[in-house]
Structure 1
Amino acid sequence: MPICTTCTTSVPFLYTVYTSSHNLRLHQCPNCHNFADPYVEHDSLAILLDLILLKRGVYRHLLYNRGADPRRYVADKIPESTPTKTSGEMEKMRWLTILRFGGPLVCVDAFIRWSHLNPNQPADISPWTKETMFALFRTLVGVSVETIAFHVGVMCTCLLVLGLADRLHHTVTVSDIRREFRFSLIPLTLFYSSLTKLFLLFLLTIWRPSPSSSAFLDLDREWVMRNMLGGMSATFGLRVVLDSHPSLTIVIIIAGWGVKTAVAQLVSRWVGGDEQMGEAWLAYSIP
């Protein structure tokens, strides 16, 4: 069931569609009296910008309301009930979205990291040699393994933390957003949260600092964007989904970082190709 993006109250539908699919009316939340989901009328660019700016409402729209069926006006009569997608169908849609959305993001992340580890390419030859393509492939494999490890670590920690929290607070009324919680929301949230850091890292890859600036400061900028800003964004996204205290989401992210660090140490030598590049990979990857 969809939720209000303002107060997270469950609503039966988000909008009513009339004769034309472009003729619709947004549903008003009975609890806060705001529109249940104004993002229904927003285009993809506005939604993307709000994702980069970490707006709480756009997370709720994409995670809980995306794909929800509207109420339809048929033959001058609004039916009392409208067929909606089952919980299993919504879950399947989320996992398909994870595959469609996560794959390109992992590729972008691999290209950014490969560009950082191989900044000085000769100008008189093509950068797409056999060696560079193989280095890019190794980077893609390493980023994919690290991403999976981070997501698995976060999901397992969420399972433990939420189970413990439910046992300690079993008498507390469960909120609507927690009632609609599914574990497919966690990797989807982490991918959405990574847009902010990837956007800034991609800009830094295109427009690198001037050669007069210190290489240490250059590395520090990218490390801060990837780990500090990325960690803050992931913590914010999980806070929206889990509806829990911020300290719990911080613990979950740290646990995910721990799993990612262990995996990065295992694959760094192979991804880097030699000991020096492996150490550079670790310095760039580990928080």
Structure 2
Amino acid sequence: MSEARSSQNSVKSAPRKVAVWCIDHPITAVSLYICVVSLFFLAFPRVDFWASGLFHSAASGFAAENVPFLRDVRHLGPFLVRVIAITCLAVLLAKLLVPERGPLMPLRMPVFLLTTLILGPGILVNSILKDNWGRPRPRSVEEFGGDLPFQPVWKITDHCDSNCSFVSGEASASMWLVSVAFLVPPTWRKAVLAFVLPLCLILSVNRIAFGGHFLSDTLLSWGLTLLLVLVVYRLLYVKDPPLVSDRQLDAWFTVSGRRLQDAFQRVSVWIRQGWRGVVRIFSEH
């Protein structure tokens, strides 16, 4: 009896141990996730057809893309990304324009958010993968009424020139929203994740329902984006010393802001002198 209980306890504790290990080794865990997902879809590519087929019918195609409410939902993720990006830029710009004042928030925060947004959804996903891997979208492949052959994950083809299916840009942008949870106080972290993770799932499934991406595009986009966020976070916050500190950023923006002010003043003086010269010339005649 005691052996049976011990065996049940060990089975129950196994997922907890895995979760603890993943939390302690996040970069390794996400790297393994990317490898496992990639190998799974290379071995079982028909799973992509099955997932997309849940939202497709021969008569109406991917009908979800014609539902106004779902089209509106699609814009929620990009809207939140724009709001956060504009806020970050405003914080940095305010420090440049008023260098004598302290920043509105520690400057590593906007630098971290903008860096991960540019490198992840911007460069890695949209500029490198989507524009070069050439994977046709589900709505374009023969199995769903299109005229292009299905292509597996990670295979570079010439069936699509740009903005292709592999990987999902909107899934990447929605997963990027998780980066906010790294910066909020620990007591807020669960609340932020409770909002962002379901939103990420909804926005990503929405793209599959529209025939815009395969399931594998979405799952790999999540992993690649989260991996990049974790690496940048380690460089800026975990590494000792960090790649750059709040104090160093404050000093750099202060010096740059003062130089900018000096440049504005010189230009202003030059314009005033030029204007006076023009006025003098016309007054003499």
- TM bracket (short chain): 0.3 to 0.5
Length-normalised TM-score, structure 1: 0.36
Task: Pick the structure with greater CA Rg.
Answer: 2
Q: Report which structure shows greater RCO (CA 8 Å, sep ≥6).
A: 2
Length-normalised TM-score, structure 2: 0.37
Q: Which has the higher helix share?
A: 2
